[in-house]
Each structure stands twice: as C-alpha cells, then as structure tokens.
Structure 1
Amino acid sequence: MLNLKMYINGEWKDSHNKEKRNVVNPANGEVFAQSVEGTVEDAKEAIEAAKAAFNSCVWSELPAEERASYLFKVADKIDENAEELTRFETMDNGKTLREAGFDVADAAACFRYYAGLITKPDGQTYHVSDPVQAMVVREPVGVCGLIVPWNYPLLMSVWKIAPALAAGNTIVFKPSEVTPLTPTKLFEIFEEVELPKGVANMVLGAGPTVGNEIAESHDVDLVSFTGGTQTGKHIMRAATGNVKKISLELGGKSPNIIFADADFETAVDYALFGIYAGAGQVCSSGSRILVEESIYDQFVNRFAERAKQINVGPGNESNSEMGPLVSQEHMEKVLNYIKIGKEEGARLVCGGERITKDGLNKGYFVEPTAFADVKPDMRIVQEEIFGPVVVIQKFKDEKEAIHLSNDTDYGLAGAVFTVDGAKALRVIKKLRAGITWINTYHPTYNEAPWGGYKQSGIGRGLGTYGLDEFQEIKQININLQVEPIGWFSK
C-alpha cells in the first residue's frame, strides 16, 4: 500500500486533520494507495511557503540559465523513471500503457521546451520621439496556484508547472484527488534535483476545500485551472477577491466534420481515434461527428462496425486499446448520459452498456458508444459527456456544417476531413474553436498554443503563449537627457 503525502516547503507532510483518502485502480476497483486529505490550513501553509520563497528571490532572481538547468535535470529524471511513471499513470488513471507512455515522454519534452525557451531573447525596445529609451521586460507573476484534472495526471501537471517555474514563479499545486500518484512522483523528482525549498509546493485534497482556498487567497497572484466549465466559473468568481490573473482550460463538445470527398477509411479511423482515445476522457475529443448526407448512412454503419471491434480492457494489458473510466462515480455519470440519449430518441448504433464480462466486472468499463439521428437541441449533443460516447449528425452543405459545428456553448477544438484544401481552410476559419485540424485529429505540440473560445476557457497554455500566462509585462522608460523639464514656472 502506497502512502502519499503533501510536499510543503521542501518537506513531506501529513494533513492537519490526519485524514486519508483511498486511491483506487479503475481497472479492478482495488485500493492501491492512500493519500492525505488536505485542509484549508494545509493550503494556507503551502501558500505561505510559496510567498516566502518568492519574496526571498531564491528562485525568481536566479539567472535564466540556472533555472533552465533545474528543468533540464527534471526532464532527465522523468526519462530515467519513464517505465515506473508509465506503469503508475496506468494504475492511477486507467489509460493504456501506450497512451501513458506517450504522456510521460511528452512531459519530459515539455520541461525541455520551457528550459530552452526561458533563455531566449524576450522583451522589446521602442524608438520614441522624446529623448527616452522605452522598453518592455517580462517578470514572474509571483505565487501561482495550479489546479489540474484527473484525465492527464502527469502531463497536465507539467503543462502548468514547467512554464510557471521557467518564468521564475513559485507554485502551489493541487492535483486531482482521484489521481495523485504520478504528480507525487514528479514532486519526488523535484526533491531529487534539489529545487530550492518553498519554490514548488503540493497540497493533496478535494477541490471545494483545497482548490477553493487557492482560488480565493489574496496571497496567490495567479490561478491556472484545467477542468469542468462549472468549476471554472466558480474559480473565476473566487479569484475576484484580489483580482488575480486567471487561466482556464475548460470543457469541450468538439465537432469533427466529414465531407463526402474525404478519404473514407481515413476519416472513419480518425473519428474513432478522436472520440475513443483516452476512453473519451479528453477535453478536445471529437464528440460530435458531422457527416455529409450523401455518405451519412455508409459512415454510421462503418463507424459502428469498427467501434465494436475495439479491444476494451485493463490498461496494463498489452492488447488493450481502450481502458476504463477513471472512477465509479464518473462511470455512472456517463451511463446516465447514455440513458438520456435513449430517452431523447437518438438511435443507438453501438455500445451503450457497462462491460462486465471477461473479468471486467470490478472495473469501470463502458462500451464504445455511438448515437445517430440526433437533433441539435438534445442534451447528448449540447453537453460534455467526457466518456466514450459520440453523436453523429447529418449536414447538407458547407454552410450547415459550419452552423451545426458552432451551435454549442463550447469552442475548444474541431476538425475537417476533405481532399479540397480550399474548402477545408474556409471551414476551419469559420469554426469558433481554438485548436483545429485538417485531415487529422488530436495531435498536440509543446510549441503550439492550447486553449479555446467561448465557455471552453480563457488564455492559452503551451508554446510561447503558455509562458506569457505566467509573466507580467513591465514598461521601463529611461530619460537620456537629464535636466529640468520646465513644465511649471519657477
């Protein structure tokens, strides 16, 4: 049994109330670890440590090359421990070893990207009319509260931690209480590379307790959150107390548009990948497939045929192609949406049930599920399900495809499949979404910005934009002609 503790001011600690939370393997329902259950007092202690570390300038005033050297060491340690981290990620979240392995490799690459970026030129100088040298410099924000979800326990942590540390901030980090294992291992790496005390602090515990304290605290200068839209709205309200900077990456209901001239099998293949990778527990999943009417029936039949062939099983088994959902609570939520879809009159073309055969009865497995003949106002079309459930819509022409694609409150991602390059670009430019693809789905890059329109969030992660989120912009004006200004009479 693993025992997971908090990391505050360079020390591993129990919570103030000594309470524990069971951590469950979603593939078999077994408890494999216990984590401390953080309190408001624990969060305050972590915030105080981060504030003291920032004010001491032990990190923020290190030369960029020295901060980068720490991040490079962290990346090397992730690589050294890749096998263990991959295994733990699968145990914690349920995703397949193949998916977890990609996440671990990308986490190391993300640290290296920001380690390199922070040493590159930044800021600007301006030629102005007065005898003044005007310039802009970038400085760390201060204490950053970072809150991440359970679908990418390690990678989502790194997407926030790497740029925040690179910029010179100190952090108070809260992983999901459902998946604390690999984030804890990451903080063990921070200890190994001897990151200065108080620079990186981790508080385990529930969002309404620990997360809320981080969002409300007047000693936190920025809060960055990835998760559900409703929680994001709460964090926005909580952050108003000291008007702290906010960065929110929220929900999605992303359209995947298939035109009749697309390479048919390629479109089907990517549509499957777009929704069933990660068991659909991906904010950018292609959870709405829009198909041109002339190939609609053919597509629905072929998609359902392929979906039924997906090998669902424990993530640590080599032949598993899709793992379980992360928890019993989340599985029940997804199954309820499937029930709603049936009640709304959508046609279930595959899946729709919990999987209990072949020894999977103790895990949280749901069949790859698809609904056809849906209407735009159905809840399963409008609301984020966050599971292996997709709706397939029919459209007549380009104009209707664009209208249906934009007809939700979300705007995170979207894709277009067609051999007509001009049409693809026309449609992509009309999509109200922040992350888009043409003839592919899901690839992401540390170098490119990540974030959405509308209720899918505020701000951008990754790339240079992700570093910008964790920096303040300061204008400096230097008078080159030092003499009285003579504005007022003597």
Structure 2
Amino acid sequence: MPKEVVDKAVEKAKIGFKKWKSYTPYQRSEILKKAAELLRKNKEKIAKLLVLEVNKTYQEALAEVERAIQTILLSSEETKRLFGEEVIFEAAPKVKNKKGYYTRVPVGIIGAITPFNFPINLTMHKVAPGLGAGNAIIVKPSENTSLAPLEVVKLFHEAGVPSETLQVVTGLGGVTGKALVENKDVKMITFTGSVQTGEIIIKTGGLKKYTMELGSNAALYIDEDQEDRLREIAKKAKIGAFALAGQVCISIQRIFVHEKLYEKFLDEFLSEVKNINLGDPRKLETDMGPVINKEAADRILDWINQDISKGAKLLLGGRRAKYEEVGLKKDEVKLENLVKEIDKEFYIYHPCFVVPTVLTNVKDDSNLMTKELFGPGVFVNKVKDINEAIEKINLSPYGLQAGIYTNNLKHAFKFAQEVECGGIMINEIPTFRVDLMPYGGVKNSGIGREGPRYAMEEMTEIKLICFDLN
C-alpha cells in the first residue's frame, strides 16, 4: 500500500483511539475474550491458511492457532490488572501532606510490524496486549503471509473492536512499513524481524517508543553428568533445531557438548535427525516442510557452504531435497510459481526444501556461530568444560535464550549468571517458550519484552498524579 493509504489509516486510527479509550477495562477484556472464542471456532480454517502461506505442517499450524488463542485470553485477563501504584512523596525530606499515585495510560496509535514465521501468534502478541491497554493498532504483516492476519483481524471486528481501532495495511516493508514508521502520529512501533531492519526502523522513526524482537542463534550446552539423558536430550534438540524448518527465533543453532559425552551425543542426535520425515506440510505424517521461499533456501545453503570452506565438517544435509525425497513428482509442481528463472537443477531438486543439516568443528568466526541462519541447520561442537561453553555461547552478537542440561547446581547458577541472554532454560532446550512469560533479549536480540503482562507495560506510559493537602 502506498504512503497515502497508510496515512489515511493513521487518520482513522485517531478516531479509533478516541472510541476505544471510552471502553472500560472490563469491556475491553470481554471483547478480547470473545475474539478468542471466535478464533477457536475458526481454528481449522486459519490453520489451513497458515499451511498454505508459511509451509508449516498442519500440526504446527494448529499449535500456533491454539497459542494465539491463549495469548488473547492472557491479554484479556491482564487488561483487568493494569495497575498503577501509590507514590510516597513524604519519603523525601521536608515533604508533608502530599499524596499521590501513578497510573498507566495508553501510548496511542501503535504500528505492529510482524514476521512470516508465526503470522498469527506473534501478531496477537502485539495486537491483544495493545488493545487491552487501550491503544489503537495498525498491523503491517509480512508480505509473504498477509492472508491469515487479515482473517483474524476480521474476527476482532466481529467481536466488537471498532474497525478504526484495529486495521491492517499490507505491502512491502520498504514502502508500507516505512510509511507507518515515519508517521509522527504513530507513537510506538513493535517489530519482530532482523537486526538490519530494526536499525532502519529506529533511524526512520526517530523519537517514539519501540519494542523489538530481533532474533537469535540459540545455544544449548550439555554438561558432563548427562550421560543417562542423552537420548532424551537428542530428541528434544531435534525438535528445537528443526521445527518449522528452523525458522523460529529461538531455534537451536549451536550445541556445545562436554568432550566426555560428545561422541555419544552426536550418535544419538544424528540418529534422531535422520528420522525427520520431509514432505508436503498438508499431510499429517510430515515432520518438516520447505522453507519460506527459494531465496531463503539459497542463502541458507550459501552460509553453510561458506562455513564448510572455513573448515566445518558436514555430517548431514547441506543440500536441497530431491522431489522423490519429499514425496512429490516433478509434474505435480509448477516450477514457474516457485522460481523466477528456471534452473535445470530444479527439475531434480525442490527449490525450497533444504535437507536437515548438521555440522561439527564450526569455527568461531563462522556464519552459524555469529549469525541467525533461520533455516534447518545446527552444529555440534565439543568443549572441555562449562567455562569454555559459556565463552563460546557469548561469542554471539545475539542474546535471546540459551539452555543447559546439568545436575550440578553450581554449574546451573554459573550458566544463568554468566550467559548473556534474556532467558536461560535449565534442563530444557532454549526453544522453550510459553506465552505468559517475559520474552525478549539482550545485545542484538532486541529491545523490551513481550508476553501480555510485559507488553502492556511497554505499550503504556506512566502518568503521575500528586495532591497537595496542606
């Protein structure tokens, strides 16, 4: 959408903000609850859209819709708990008979720029708390996945949210997104995406509020006392690395294993990864579908090959899947819909299917160590102890979540204190997330926190009221 259309949406949002401010917290909470009920009634329809747009498996799509429902319900509950606090002015010297408090007030119009990988739940993490706090929201979904968010916003309107209060503008980030960000009447931008785009948004938007979830290359450390749990850890690590073809902000990209357990864990992990069933994401038996598009597959494989050229050892994958490997025949796929220029190799290999990839001996300056692959690739490196593991984990410019498996309480505390991340998972993979927890990172992983309660704090301003009773 061009700038003029976005600017009109902002003008409508001004009207929507005034309308929505007049609703009580109870009324807003009830409307959010109704929106969750409507989403539940339309769960299968929205899930099928996710499969078609995102290439999620049907089970992954259903799970996302269920999480989105919970995110809306959590926001409905938190709408009634957006408290202020008494301020004790008389705790200052020479102050008497002054009483007061602060309250939280909505920011105003919020621009929500959302990614392709979780187009419903990550949109709800911006929309539902924002509405609960009394704001007007303009959603700019990923140009790759706009249909599902458009359908869900219709359900919010049906539930009772004024059409001016919640709107969607679609288009490219450099056009539609830019127009939304630079509009002075948009008081806050909440964004999930890349570091590079996040930096552009802040430079373009100037002085306004921001929350940003900018990705990660999540790490897992397996301590020397975990021999009895290696199979269990390998099973969970497989899910953490290859769910949604690795296109998750907290996908496991880096695994560090104590040298005593390295060989045994590697055997267990490779055995698990080899059993991943690639295929049509519409089929229930499929474990992993394709990545979002050919360009993403090109980049993923290019980065992996660069790391191999630096000395990393390829153990599995590192290539596209053949049609027969994913249960497709060449004549079932219209290649012209998938690639701009037909390449001979794509008559053999599917342009968007990357085989689950495992490397080892990955170097400190490699892509997988320092960048976010956002694809089905992970490395397993050995380390001599927890100190080396922490040192290697902290080499990353990101700091979203990390995990450790250990029975040693001192090691668990050391890991929690010294690893530079917003979330530390003890005896759990770093891909663990529930939607009520504070979620966000340090370093290049972002600004602020999501999770309905914490997002509402980000999406409000503190207003102080003081009474002089002298």
CA shift for structure 1 position 75: 0.2
2:268 match: secondary structure: helix
1:116 aligns with 2:77: yes
Instruction: Report if the CA contact (8 A) 1:406-1:431 is conserved.
Output: yes
Q: What SS is found at the alignment partner of 2:80?
A: coil
Task: State the alpha-carbon separation in 2 of the partners of residues 341 and 144 from structure 1.
Answer: 40
Q: How does 1:102-141 map to 2 (within 5 A)?
A: 102-120=63-81, 122-129=83-90, 130-141=96-107
Amino acid across the alignment from 1:105: E
Question: 1:300–1:372: 8 Å Cα contact kept in structure 2?
Answer: no
CA distance in 2, matches of 1:368, 1:116: 40
For 1:356, the equivalent position in structure 2 comes to 322
Tell me which of 194, 205, 210 is aligned to 1:246: 210
2:425 corresponds to 1:437: yes
Alignment match, 1:451 = 440
What is the CA distance between 1:161 and its match in structure 2? 0.3
| Contact 1:267–1:439 (8 Å) recurs in 2 | no
Which residue matches 1:59? 20
Instruction: Report the secondary structure of 1:294's partner residue.
Output: coil
TM-score, normalization: structure 1? 0.87
Residues 15 and 164 in structure 2, CA contact (< 8 A), matched pair in contact too: yes
| SS of equivalent residue, structure 1 residue 146 | strand
Displacement of 1:315 after TM fit?
1.4
Residues 69-123 of structure 1: per-residue CA shift (max 9 Å, x gap): 1101100001001111111111110111111111101111111111111112600
Q: Which residue of 1 aligns with 2:289?
A: 323
Partners of 1:323 and 1:439 in 2: CA distance: 28
Asked if structure 2 preserves the Cα contact closer than 8 Å seen for 1:225 and 1:247, the reply is yes
Tell me, what secondary structure is at the counterpart of 2:438? coil
| 1:291 aligned residue (257, 271, 286) | 257
Cα distance between partner residues in 2 of 1:379 and 1:178:
25
**Deviations, residues 361-402 of structure 1 (Å, cap 9, x unaligned):** 645211110110111112232111100011222211111111
**2:453 corresponds to which residue?**
464
Q: Secondary structure at the match of 1:407?
A: coil
- 2:312 corresponds in structure 1 to 346
Task: State the SS of the aligned residue for 2:20.
Answer: coil
1:337 aligned onto 2:303? yes
- Secondary structure of 1:221's aligned partner: strand
Aligned to 1:193: 159
State the SS of the aligned residue for 2:354.
coil
- Matching residue of 1:48: 11
Between 1:369-378 and 1:188-197, the stretch displaced more is 188-197
Q: 1:246: how far off?
A: 0.6
> d(CA) in 1 for partners of 2:258 and 2:150?
47
Is this contact kept in 2: 1:257–1:291, CA < 8 A? yes
Are 2:122 and 1:156 equivalent residues in the alignment?
yes
Write the distance in 1 (CA, Å) between the matches of 2:280 and 2:128: 31
1:376-455, aligned counterparts within 5 Å?
Answer: 376-441=364-429, 442-455=431-444
Deviations 1:457-488 (A, max 9, x none): 0000004211101101011101222xxxxxxx
Amino acid in the other structure paired with 1:127: I
CA distance in 2 between counterparts of 1:204 and 1:116 reads: 30
Letter of the structure 2 residue corresponding to residue 126 of structure 1: V
Q: Equivalent of 2:196, from 219, 224, 230?
A: 230
* Structure 2 CA distance for partners of 1:87 and 1:435, relative to 1, 3 Å: same
Determine the C-alpha separation between the residues in 2 that align with 1:399 and 1:74: 48
> Which residue identity does 1:244 align to in structure 2?
K
The answer to whether residue 466 in structure 2 is matched with residue 477 in structure 1 is yes
Once the two structures are superposed, residues 191-244 of structure 1 have per-residue CA deviations (whole angstroms, 9 ceiling, x without a partner) of 32232131001001000111111111111000010001110111111121xx11
Question: What count of residue pairs does the alignment treat as equivalent?
Answer: 440
* Contact kept? 1:374, 1:393, Cα under 8 Å: yes
Q: Matched residue of 2:14: which SS? A: helix
1:81-96 pair list within 5 angstroms: 81-96=42-57
> Within the alignment, does 1:101 sit opposite 2:59 as a pair?
no
Aligned partners of 1:308 and 1:351 also within 8 Å: no
Structure 1 residues 121 and 255: alpha-carbon distance in aligned structure 2, compared to 1, 3 A threshold: closer
- Cα distance, 1:427 vs. partner? 1.0
Same amino acid, percent of matched pairs: 33
Is residue 2:297 matched to residue 1:308? Answer: no
